[in-house]
Structure 1
């Protein structure tokens, strides 16, 4: 690295990229940089996201090397983590031996034997990994750095921290969604324009030591693209380095980069490389160029890289030997889990076939979410009259659910999809005047709440408010702190009389006007049943059981709700699906299409509360009298199964009693109300009989599928390109937040502060937080989530699976790049899909009876 005194330059006077070639070059570079960054959704719709999605065309290790060349991001756990897992018996010397052979496909040639690696692990001992260890270590040998980092290394102030705080201040004000008392000026401007206007008057940066910053900002070009081009040339950065340098800029503020990527690609409906993301890059670069100009920091880029091309920059301070060892041990830990999982499954297709010909009391359809595994297992244990299925928790209903009296709602489907229509909430079995009055009461109540909140926080009212009501609120605060106040009122019932609350729910009103005719509704119902594999042998009751969580004082609550419903409860989807299939005209159309539903079958909607493990049924007033007895019987079965599930979960959440476990749902001081999807490790696509007798320990996504009902492979294709990808996203979010909480997590939950009603900061400044907090991954003494790449097990012919892989390049990239593992169960044998696209026969080990 060479840092010298620069010749004087002015960004405003720098040559602007006016030639068509330079314009195309800048556009191409910005598009590539945006493609690497993954978005983060707002708190209202918070869902797990794969932080590495933009790098999935590369192999796992190539992506790590690339990221380490421009950031401190880490994709592998430290060696002591694998040592701890080895000492716990989660993988063995035999697993290491197999791993050495398997990683050879990734070009990793081990310098050690399995026994030698085991000796290394024994030398380290069973020490665990703590919070600070999960923060990505400083990558001391990284070549591409921001000017702020270089300036800090020369002994200047910590400009990186100053810059991030200043950017956060501007971004928080710009994107505020009603939290701030004063709205920002200059509405309608882009992020870059708003910052440029504000920064010309803001003395903060100059007070902290960067004199002349306001004058510098006045000289910047008026658009972010022009500013980026001018600043790249002002810094004399070679064109071959533009992409890496801009990635370094983006990853110096990873949280706001993710947020502006969301604004550009999802909120705005663009392709990711839009005004918000480009604005942030221009803003971040402006601080660097100002530092270079005003603090006399100059980099000789040619000398710095000494002729090394950007594609071959060193990845950082870890030796290749260390990387290979850790990657091999990651594979070994995954092999250990793989063996235990496969040993627990019923492989023989005929043996796994359900031979029970008696009609079931109920068929219950749950989300594929790993938390459904426990309750499904307990239901089937309590009663052999209950059969369970796994399906995407939005039940194939692509809705935007509009609450009572609202004009717009929130999407209740995977975030990768867009809603097809609006489903409006209303009051069933009530007169129109009652609903009209409820809407009016709701508006009045919420307007009053807003006014009261405004008075409480106003400059004039806050002092007198505290003086007048402080004691009363002190008692309320004490009750909540002691957990004596119970669950707070549900805003969903604002304005709705108590006797009418059981009638509030989705309606079919307005669907025809949106083009969702009865024929389209029948299409939705048919697609759901066929993709589920439920087209015959219907039970007396068919229950669509969505899921949702119940927590208090939790900004990241949406992350515990249904990911398939966009971070919301699956209740509206379940109720709408049941409503459709109870319509006589829908059943008539389905009968014409080969799906005969018995007249005495009734579809019911339910909700699995994943925090308390209770199951609630909806719209029971509409259940026919001849099915009332069965509903009562099923309710008793569910209550018993819920009790058994809570007993099983008690040690997992460290609860001393069932009442303590239930209290977590309303305890506003509880940082671990439930574990969410922590521990997820596998995605099993098979008939329920394959997994029914295994305790999978809530670590597996379970999707029902019978290849014998799918001769053309269309259902398998849908599963591998949608639910499998979503499960992979979730798995990678948990993986990334565990191995690198600094870049892809949200730190310590106890110091979170909500910013702008859309995101969180750690404390009162710093970068926007993304990903999962440490308390969602670690018990405080050990990991609840073990970072492993998703293992996909599909009970289907290899030929059918291969056709899907060949047809969909993104799926092929995930498999050939080592981002997930794939196994096929065919004719009672198990096959592994290798990174070079070959199926290898494998044999399971001796039966292992402990849970997965």
Structure 2
């Protein structure tokens, strides 16, 4: 067929199909996981948050081909083991709204065997019209097209792994592919197909329309086919969308769009089909079995919740949640008046992030020294800013993703003569994008490469507890201070203020102190402890850092808070606002390394360590708490020490973090389950197995609920996002998660893929979630229902978290400690059978010994030491 005839066949544009609005609609269902440097926990099913939790599971399953619940056998086993209680089943059945007769019928079906209950549903992604076309033509488009598309995308978006750059400066993805196709000495397969090559002069809109006409045939099916193309590789599709919308997320900017990706991919599909079947193949609209295929215009988006599985899952969650609620009900908590009257200044106060991994550290500190008072707050400590360290190529946000900072804070060398290191932005560009000689590269490989190979082999078989290249984090000397005080109101070229005014500092320090209920009774020493993590074998490093700091270490925030709180000008302003920080009180910043259980203290040169009251004794208490914490963590590790010695456990967790072959440096947020917003008296003396996010809050100091609004604004996206990502990645790791880490390769510093030509894997790897119990977060608020209602009314769209039951919320009345569960129907009083007791123990070690599964909440008896 001549080129002229080909052009005539393809010159029939669709009339009723709006490509731009279609792409905008489809993009909503793609993953929103950005480049791996910015890994941030979020609700995996964010696109369905307008639906109730169980409805969203149903629709997502039919779209993506994912399982929505654990296997039926798992729930039945938990019931036989006594982990799912009878009262929890009764509660879950009552939540269905069915009649008593229907509930009895459902209860019978709960215990029936069903070997097919855990098969993923027939889905649009796996059984849709594109799959039908592949089957009809007997061509595996995924196997033939994806390697080509993935190579093009990884080379185009590469952020520094490749020695040569594919795109020219400012060149778009479409223009780059077009240049390669037309100018390459070797033809770029399959775009050299004559029937396709004649289309290269058209723009992406025309290309997509022509390909859809040929492949699909009916405009009614265009949207579905485009969605199936994107869902065949959701990782790359989502990454392209992220880069399109926020090009600043890349260190080296790239111009790309979903439209360009679709144009290239559809052109590739068409070329391969024509090369194998000719031009007269039947379009999808000609298929005779079209009505038996899942259609987007059919019932794919209509939820169909399996009642039996919903009841089992709700019962499992309520049984786990009840373990905490019953313990809270039994806690001997003084009234607000008694608590205030008996309160005397503690020796030390320590601020921690609300992170569930800090739950056990706080417990051990208080066990070792009961005169230490601990507080919890979101790990950015109320100070939102962009931060740029000495060697950072660009600033990063140090706050929850829902906040857009207006301030920039830079690290300044302690000695101004210190020159920037080679991996600053100029060095970065030179290191990655200067020209390279093939001969010189070969010489390097044959000489230096052999030495590094020997070193790597040694590290594999004899991992050391030392971090590569530097001392352990606890020994790193400070070499910078933060430029925090703003000297001019003129913004930077990016529109940010360089530093804070004293008034702005006081606003942030005062807001956090009021939120956590600390406005008087300050200890002589207040330690602000951020957290981060270090490990050798972990491309998802940001997932181990602080979620409230957008997946970064919280050290800059802790340092900023301590400096501001120590500033006399800030204290003077706070005094005028009713917060008096004594002159004798000093704030010290620190960082807890959660993988190695080590602590670093910052900026001590600004405070003579010997003059800080209680600092030496606090360091001893913290070191003891870290060793005990490491010992508790080791019960989860199959190869952990069995001796029971805390020193040996501490050495083990440090060696895990430094081992190149260790896929589990720490289990991170595994088994997160609770979030308690309230006084420490609610939970002090409880063993919660490192499962609780703990945010300090004084109900007596918040009569209007304004502080609660600020707290919940961070808790919903941060704690809720962490919880749901773990939940979905545990239930179906093959779809929602990243699979096992073992075959992962880092692709272009963008993400990980299996091998060198796989799709980018989104979500969490199997090794991070394998021990997780997938249950929704229970948020317990130490406040009256009326004030909680006032706060919820001010949260706007964030209310979908509770209204649609993506998290569960319980009010614990401060006076009576009566418990009420929140639902769309209002507050429901919570009652438990009278014969349920809370397990009692004398200390943490007596609870964890010889136990390697999740442990129910325990209550400590007597004084702990």
For normalisation by structure 1, the TM-score amounts to: 0.85
Q: Flag structure 1 segments of 5+ consecutive residues without an equivalent.
A: 1-7, 125-132, 429-433, 779-783
Q: CA deviation at 1:672?
A: 0.4
Structure 2 distance, partners of 1:102, 1:69, is: 24
Q: Is the 8 A contact 1:232 1:242 kept in 2?
A: yes
Output one character per residue of 1:576-615: Cα deviation in whole Å (capped at 9) or x when no partner. 1100111110101111111111111111101111112223
Structure 2 distance, partners of 1:251, 1:445, is: 38
Q: 1:374/1:35 Cα in 2 relative to 1: closer, same or farther (>3 Å)?
A: same
Output one character per residue of 1:728-777: Cα deviation in whole Å (capped at 9) or x when no partner. 11111112212222232111211111111121111111101111111111
Q: 1:53 aligns with which of 46, 56, 60?
A: 46
Q: 1:461 aligns with which of 440, 443, 468?
A: 440
Structure 2 distance, partners of 1:157, 1:306, is: 21
Structure 1 distance, partners of 2:433, 2:200, is: 39
Q: Does residue 1:417 correspond to 2:393, yes or no?
A: no
Partner of 2:237: 257
Partner of 1:574: 558
Output one character per residue of 1:280-304: Cα deviation in whole Å (capped at 9) or x when no partner. 3444444445566664242227962
Q: CA deviation at 1:548?
A: 0.6
Structure 1 distance, partners of 2:471, 2:407, is: 24
Q: Does residue 1:800 correspond to 2:787, yes or no?
A: yes
Q: CA deviation at 1:668?
A: 1.3
Q: 2:151 aligns with which of 151, 169, 172?
A: 169
Q: Does residue 1:298 correspond to 2:277, yes or no?
A: no
The SS at the match of 1:742 is: coil
Structure 2 distance, partners of 1:359, 1:46, is: 40
Q: 1:815 aligns with which of 797, 802, 821?
A: 802
The SS at the match of 2:612 is: helix
The SS at the match of 2:381 is: coil
Q: CA deviation at 1:69?
A: 3.8
Q: Is the 8 A contact 2:589 2:601 kept in 1?
A: yes
Partner of 1:851: 856
Q: Does residue 1:479 correspond to 2:479, yes or no?
A: no
Structure 2 distance, partners of 1:11, 1:819, is: 53
Q: CA deviation at 1:670?
A: 0.9
My pick for the range that moved more, 483-492 or 691-700, is 483-492
Q: Is the 8 A contact 1:143 1:314 kept in 2?
A: no
Q: CA deviation at 1:174?
A: 1.3
Q: Is the 8 A contact 1:93 1:118 kept in 2?
A: no
Q: 1:809/1:357 Cα in 2 relative to 1: closer, same or farther (>3 Å)?
A: closer
Q: Does residue 1:833 correspond to 2:817, yes or no?
A: no
The SS at the match of 2:832 is: coil
Q: CA deviation at 1:217?
A: 5.6
Q: Does residue 1:769 correspond to 2:766, yes or no?
A: no
Q: CA deviation at 1:195?
A: 3.4
Q: Is the 8 A contact 2:150 2:759 kept in 1?
A: yes
The SS at the match of 2:44 is: coil
Output one character per residue of 1:536-579: Cα deviation in whole Å (capped at 9) or x when no partner. 21111111110011201321111111111122111111001100
Q: Does residue 1:506 correspond to 2:475, yes or no?
A: no
Q: 1:750/1:828 Cα in 2 relative to 1: closer, same or farther (>3 Å)?
A: same
Partner of 1:552: 536
Q: Is the 8 A contact 1:559 1:567 kept in 2?
A: yes
The SS at the match of 2:361 is: helix
Q: 1:381 aligns with which of 363, 367, 374?
A: 367
Q: Is the 8 A contact 2:161 2:749 kept in 1?
A: yes
Q: Is the 8 A contact 2:160 2:432 kept in 1?
A: no
Structure 1 distance, partners of 2:197, 2:101, is: 49
Partner of 2:376: 390
Q: Is the 8 A contact 1:71 1:252 kept in 2?
A: no
Partner of 2:568: 584
Task: Note the 1:696-845 alignment, pairs <5 A.
Answer: 696-778=688-770, 784-826=771-813, 827-834=816-823, 836-845=824-833
Partner of 2:162: 180
The SS at the match of 1:595 is: coil
The SS at the match of 2:258 is: helix
Task: Note the 1:103-502 alignment, pairs <5 A.
Answer: 103-104=96-97, 112-114=105-107, 116-118=109-111, 120=113, 139-140=121-122, 142=124, 148-154=130-136, 156-198=138-180, 213=193, 215-216=195-196, 218-219=198-199, 222-235=202-215, 241-268=221-248, 276-290=257-271, 295=277, 296-300=281-285, 304-305=290-291, 310=296, 312-314=298-300, 323-346=306-329, 351=334, 353=336, 354=339, 356-404=342-390, 408-428=394-414, 434-436=415-417, 438-439=418-419, 442-443=421-422, 459-469=438-448, 472-481=451-460, 482-484=462-464, 486-490=466-470, 501-502=477-478
Output one character per residue of 1:623-642: Cα deviation in whole Å (capped at 9) or x when no partner. 25674341101111111111
Q: CA deviation at 1:201?
A: 7.0
Q: 1:99/1:573 Cα in 2 relative to 1: closer, same or farther (>3 Å)?
A: same
Q: Is the 8 A contact 2:355 2:694 kept in 1?
A: yes
Q: Is the 8 A contact 1:653 1:675 kept in 2?
A: no
Structure 1 distance, partners of 2:320, 2:627, is: 28
For normalisation by structure 2, the TM-score amounts to: 0.84
My pick for the range that moved more, 158-167 or 225-234, is 225-234
Output one character per residue of 1:424-466: Cα deviation in whole Å (capped at 9) or x when no partner. 11234xxxxx422x215x2499989998999999632343334
The SS at the match of 1:828 is: coil
Q: CA deviation at 1:844?
A: 3.5
Structure 2 distance, partners of 1:232, 1:366, is: 55
Partner of 2:83: 90
Q: 1:625/1:549 Cα in 2 relative to 1: closer, same or farther (>3 Å)?
A: closer
Partner of 1:542: 526
Partner of 1:4: none
Structure 2 distance, partners of 1:552, 1:31, is: 39
Q: Is the 8 A contact 2:124 2:228 kept in 1?
A: no
Q: 1:522/1:305 Cα in 2 relative to 1: closer, same or farther (>3 Å)?
A: same
The SS at the match of 2:635 is: coil
Partner of 1:130: none
Q: 1:485/1:57 Cα in 2 relative to 1: closer, same or farther (>3 Å)?
A: closer
Q: Does residue 1:524 correspond to 2:508, yes or no?
A: yes
Q: CA deviation at 1:179?
A: 0.8
Q: 1:67/1:15 Cα in 2 relative to 1: closer, same or farther (>3 Å)?
A: farther
Q: Flag structure 2 segments of 5+ consecutive residues without an equivalent.
A: 492-496, 642-647, 840-854, 858-865
Q: 2:23 aligns with which of 30, 33, 37?
A: 30
Structure 2 distance, partners of 1:240, 1:537, is: 68
Partner of 2:10: 13
Structure 1 distance, partners of 2:54, 2:326, is: 29
Q: 1:565/1:204 Cα in 2 relative to 1: closer, same or farther (>3 Å)?
A: farther
Structure 2 distance, partners of 1:796, 1:571, is: 31
Q: Does residue 1:604 correspond to 2:604, yes or no?
A: no
Q: 1:218/1:62 Cα in 2 relative to 1: closer, same or farther (>3 Å)?
A: farther
